[in-house]
Amino acid sequence: GACGFGEYGRNISSGNVAGVYRLYKNGVGCGACYQVRCTTNPQICTKKGVNVVVTDYGQGDNTDFILSHHAYEAMARPGTADRLLAYGVVDVEYQRVPCQYVGHKIQVKVHEYSRKPDYLAIIMLYQAGKSDILSVDIWQQGKWVEMRRSFGAVFDMPNPPLGAISLRFKVQDNAGIKWPKAVIPRNWKAGVAYDTDIQLQ
């Protein structure tokens, strides 16, 4: 999807994913989690609804969310999914909720578009909590240099530094701005996700 997550964006949260319109925020909204529940018919809609992860941009007819089929059905009471699907578009209530990925800290994935040593593109996976990643800086020639937001949640840079790559993330949460740091090993490869010690709240 438009966030650039690839297969991760299809399978994360058991496939309970969504495209959003206003909440996309030029890609800053990618990876955010929302509780969405339909209000069209209380005989069909559960009170709990479904928790979804934003993995795409979607603009419909006055819609805030375009849910995956799996997520849409999860808003229905047992045995009523077909009736809910028949509506097509339903009224919903939603709120931002913390993303929870048990056993995972943030991973920095070197995007498949990367070409060593000429071009580096990265994306963050398992963005827990209610935090937004606003920007990413890379340590180059003795100073922090801001990477470009290429599209969605993908940040890139031509001619990245040789050797291990130091990164810092500008993260906003309820407590304000933070700058957690991570390192990609010198032998990085396109398509590989690297673990960090970063745990967002």
Q: Write out pLDDT tens, residues 109-158.
A: 999 999 999 999 999 999 999 999 999 999 999 999 999 999 999 999 99
Answering whether pTM is above 0.75, one says: yes
Rounded distance between C-alpha atoms, residue 165 and residue 13, angstroms? 30
Q: Is 64 exposed, middle or buried (0-12, 13-18, 19+ CB in 10 A)?
A: middle
Tell me the pairing of strands 50-57 and 17-20.
Answer: parallel
Rounded distance between C-alpha atoms, residue 40 and residue 33, angstroms? 22
Please provide the average confidence, as pLDDT, over all residues in the chain: 95
107-195 adopts what CATH topology? Answer: Immunoglobulin-like (2.60.40)
7-96 adopts what CATH topology? Answer: Barwin-like endoglucanases (2.40.40)
SS3 state at 113: coil
Q: Where along the chain do the CATH 2.40.40.10 domains lie? A: 7-96
Tell me the pairing of strands 143-146 and 132-140.
Answer: antiparallel
For the stretch 61-102, pLDDT in tens is 888 999 999 999 999 999 999 999 999 999 999 999 999 999
Q: Where along the chain do the CATH 2.60.40.760 domains lie? A: 107-195
